[in-house]
Amino acid sequence: MLVRLLGWMAALVAASLSPLAQAEDGYDLWLRYARADDTRSQAIASHATALVTTGNSATMAAIRAELQRGVGGLTGGTIADSQSVQAGALWLATPEAGAVLPVKTDGLGQEGYAIRSITRDGKPVTLLAANSEFGLLHGAYHWLRLAQTGASLDALDIRSAPRIGLRLLNHWDNLDGTVERGYAGQSIWDWWRLPDWKGPRYTDYARANASIGINGTVLNNVNAKADSLTAPYIAKAAALADIFRPYGIKVYLSVKWTAPMELDGLKTADPLDPQVAAWWKAKADEIYRAIPDFGGFLVKANSEGQPGPQDYKRTHADGANMLAAAVKPHGGIVMWRAFVYAHDNPDDRAKQAYSDFKPLDGRFAENVIVQVKNGAIDFQPREPFHPLFGAMPKTPLMMEFQITKEYLGQSTHLTYLGPLFEEVLRADTFAKGKGSTVAKVIDGSLEGHRLTGIAGVANIGADRDWSGSIFNQADWYAFGRMAWDTSLTADAVARDWAAMTFSPDPRVVQPVVAMMMGSREAAVDYMTPLGLAHIMATGHHYGPGPWVSNLARPEWNPVYYHKADARGVGFDRTRTGSNAVAQYAPPIAKMLSKPETTPERDLLWFHHVPWTYKLKSGDTLWDAMVHHYDLGVDYVAQMRATWDALRPYIDAERFAETQSFLGIQAREAKWWRDACITYFQSKSGLPLPPGSAAPAHDLGYYEALSFPYAPGHH
């Protein structure tokens, strides 16, 4: 027995030394801290000869542990704790610690930090200064990022503070462990075994989020169950809050509007009923007893069948304000979603949120923030920015992005979302003249709001690699970085991510970033070019279904969105149609009122255009559409070739997974192209432009495909 055990152990030791054991499964995300080459490793070590910190809080312990882990991994050495500043030390200090800091921390707020190379008593040191330990934590991650990406650690003079206060993940995680629109396995919240079993993954989740500046998480699906507000589930949420607290991450819950009726038998959920208000107040008190720094509530009401205040002839403001009063004494907030459209409203779906919410501007309590999706329909590969941005100056609005790629290839397509985030944040609403960007609306600077926020629907699950694919990790990463600093470019963020995730070697970073940067446009091209939207197949929203016309609600059918007929294609949202363009500020509305002045990328979103309409290139709309579908397919082929050439530089496991997924993407991009071209050709009746290959099958073939077990659809 013993002999056998020893044999086993020898085998294990051998395996851990062999290169195969170096294969990576993606669990470490961008915090791998892989050993740097010798020159680099020495440079890092010389800037981390000692770690000078004060305080014994859990946050300080987390900072020290992360720096140890990081420097240890990158250099193979250790970084010793020291009481005094020595040459090459990393010195972390807050003004509270009594230090007279040679760096001003004014303007850094409670989360920002400064990193400066200074000389202290004649010795070169790196000072990391902040007003709070959370600021130090973020600064430590910044320094580690510099170390990981091969950036210089000399002559540093960095100041960074977020402009947006709430930078949250929204988990659409259900209590039964499934994740709505989740493509990375089951929920990471092990509700069943919480609050007793607190697995290490929760701490790694907090580390990953803190490293990119995320400071809050909504634990449960907006399609909420009342049960999440029962005592056992509050205790479970409290256990998670305890783990996240040292990392500066607060916990929030989605709530179901009718919880007082479901849980305690109240006769109504009318927000103006005193008993209902009292119930929520008592519930908030109960939550805050368990989670003193609980963030607040997120609410999906009167949307897609969820109950809400309108069921009692009250407004969204009535509902939000009642909940806001309940959490206010504790400093909590309410995030009220504007994603609403009603089955009995025949108006253009794209107009309904604005129509419902715009009249409520100025009617929300001060601790309410309205959460608006980036576009007016639903997380499409491309949408024009939501017309509510800039249209409710008296109400703080927060952004809702979708990190999980419900409509962009889910877990297998490589479609980097950084460019989508950048495009939306930089879009100009013209609400207060030129330069009134969406970023300025949500950071509060345009309209003078102090409550500010941005949320991303998480793409995290129990899969070993967290996000369902290595490249999907980049979307989580980019969301956090761009939420912290909306002026970052998608390209810069991709560079950091690629360097940390794979290697800082330019032979890796350059091609990986090149693949990533065009990948979202490629998905637009092979799925919904020129402003097409929502032509995905029923339910799972994965593959193409432009022909679908049999669903109960008109706006659930792709034909509602593209309106293709023998004459042309597209949704007329000008005055001759739904007039959704009038919801934008006058300069934008004017620009969008004519096809000639509408950006071509949004053409069919706003106009029904003849198939023979001439685009700026001189091509007809039909030819251009086919061309875009071809471009998308070609781009995926290029990504495959680029990735194949990276084989020598990437570990076997992550190389193989990405290679396989790119194969899936290539096949499916072609499927999208062929199915859409076949369908639209059945309307246009026009031949394919020269050089464009005939689709592989006829329309009946594509229509017959069905995927009842596609993941993420619950």
Q: In the complex, what is the shortest distance from the CB of residue 338 to ligand GCW, in angstroms, rounded to a whole number? A: 11
Q: Are strands 333-337 and 296-299 parallel, antiparallel or unpaired?
A: parallel
Residue type, 466: W
Residue 597's CB is within 10 A of a number of other CB atoms, namely 9
Q: Report if residue 401 touches ligand GCW, rule: CB under 6 A.
A: no
Q: Which is nearer to ligand GCW, 86 or 223 (CB)?
A: 223
Q: Report if residue 378 touches ligand GCW, rule: CB under 6 A.
A: yes
Q: Which is nearer to ligand GCW, 134 or 379 (CB)?
A: 379
Catalytic residue, from 28, 190, 242, 304: name it.
Answer: 304
Site for ligand GCW in 580-609 (CB under 6 A): none
Q: Which is nearer to ligand GCW, 444 or 544 (CB)?
A: 544
Q: In the complex, what is the shortest distance from the CB of residue 539 to ligand GCW, in angstroms, rounded to a whole number? A: 9
CA 687 to chain centre: 40
Residue 114's CB is within 10 A of a number of other CB atoms, namely 23
With beta carbons less than 8 A apart as the criterion, state whether 241 and 291 touch. Answer: yes
Residue 232 CA to residue 176 CA, distance in Å, equals: 14
Q: In the complex, what is the shortest distance from the CB of residue 406 to ligand GCW, in angstroms, rounded to a whole number? A: 6
Q: Which is nearer to ligand GCW, 8 or 707 (CB)?
A: 707
Residue type, 96: E
Site for ligand GCW in 297-316 (CB under 6 A): 300, 304
Q: Report if residue 222 touches ligand GCW, rule: CB under 6 A.
A: yes
Q: Report if residue 383 touches ligand GCW, rule: CB under 6 A.
A: no
Q: Is 690 helix (H, G, I), strand (E, B) or coil?
A: coil
Q: Which is nearer to ligand GCW, 180 or 572 (CB)?
A: 180
Q: Report if residue 341 touches ligand GCW, rule: CB under 6 A.
A: no
Q: Is 600 a catalytic residue?
A: no
Q: Which residue is nearest to ligand GCW (CB)?
A: 378
Of the candidate residues 113, 183, 279, 339, the single one contacting ligand GCW (CB under 6 A)? 339
Omega before 195 within 30 of 0, i.e. cis: yes
Q: Report if residue 523 touches ligand GCW, rule: CB under 6 A.
A: no
Q: Count the site residues for ligand GCW by CB under 6 A.
A: 11
* CA nearest to 91, candidates 44, 42, 138, 140: 140
Q: Is 596 a catalytic residue?
A: no
Catalytic residue, from 173, 180, 406, 555: name it.
Answer: 406
Q: Which is nearer to ligand GCW, 113 or 379 (CB)?
A: 379
Residue 690 CA to residue 645 CA, distance in Å, equals: 32
With beta carbons less than 8 A apart as the criterion, state whether 438 and 485 touch. Answer: no
Q: Which is nearer to ligand GCW, 174 or 436 (CB)?
A: 174
Q: In the complex, what is the shortest distance from the CB of residue 714 to ligand GCW, in angstroms, rounded to a whole number? A: 8
Q: In the complex, what is the shortest distance from the CB of residue 306 to ligand GCW, in angstroms, rounded to a whole number? A: 8
Catalytic residue, from 318, 356, 378, 422: name it.
Answer: 378
Give, in degrees to the nearest 5, the angle at Cα 480 between 476 and 485.
Answer: 145
Of the candidate residues 82, 86, 117, 223, the single one contacting ligand GCW (CB under 6 A)? 223
Of the candidate residues 24, 180, 348, 555, the single one contacting ligand GCW (CB under 6 A)? 180
Q: In the complex, what is the shortest distance from the CB of residue 223 to ligand GCW, in angstroms, rounded to a whole number? A: 5
Q: In the complex, what is the shortest distance from the CB of residue 151 to ligand GCW, in angstroms, rounded to a whole number? A: 38
Residue 485 CA to residue 330 CA, distance in Å, equals: 28
Tell me the two tokens of residue 270. 């009318």
Residue 24 CA to residue 571 CA, distance in Å, equals: 47
What are the φ and ψ backbone dihedral angles of 438, each rounded to 5 degrees? -60, -40
Residue 255's CB is within 10 A of a number of other CB atoms, namely 24
Residue type, 492: A
Q: Report if residue 379 touches ligand GCW, rule: CB under 6 A.
A: yes
Q: In the complex, what is the shortest distance from the CB of residue 61 to ligand GCW, in angstroms, rounded to a whole number? A: 37
Q: How many helices (H) and strands (E) does the chain have?
A: 21, 16
Q: Which is nearer to ligand GCW, 82 or 538 (CB)?
A: 538
Terminal alpha carbon distance of the chain? 49
With beta carbons less than 8 A apart as the criterion, state whether 229 and 202 touch. Answer: no
Residue 47's CB is within 10 A of a number of other CB atoms, namely 23
Q: In the complex, what is the shortest distance from the CB of residue 295 to ligand GCW, in angstroms, rounded to a whole number? A: 19
Q: Exposure string (b/e) for 649-658, b if CB count within 10 Å is 16 or more?
A: ebbebbbebb
Q: Say how many residues make up the chain.
A: 714
Q: Which is nearer to ligand GCW, 172 or 279 (CB)?
A: 172
Site for ligand GCW in 20-59 (CB under 6 A): none
Site for ligand GCW in 119-178 (CB under 6 A): 172
Q: Are strands 568-569 and 453-457 parallel, antiparallel or unpaired?
A: unpaired
Q: Which is nearer to ligand GCW, 172 or 661 (CB)?
A: 172
Tokens 């007039």 belong to 579
Q: Is 304 a catalytic residue?
A: yes
Report the largest interatomic distance among the alpha carbons of the chain, rounded to a whole angstrom.
Answer: 85
Of the candidate residues 163, 181, 256, 413, the single one contacting ligand GCW (CB under 6 A)? 181
Residue 655 CA to residue 637 CA, distance in Å, equals: 16
Site for ligand GCW in 444-483 (CB under 6 A): none
Of the candidate residues 133, 406, 623, 674, the single one contacting ligand GCW (CB under 6 A)? 406
Positions in the binding site for ligand GCW (CB under 6 A): 172, 180-181, 222-223, 300, 304, 339, 378-379, 406
User: Which residues carry out catalysis?
Assistant: 304, 378, 406
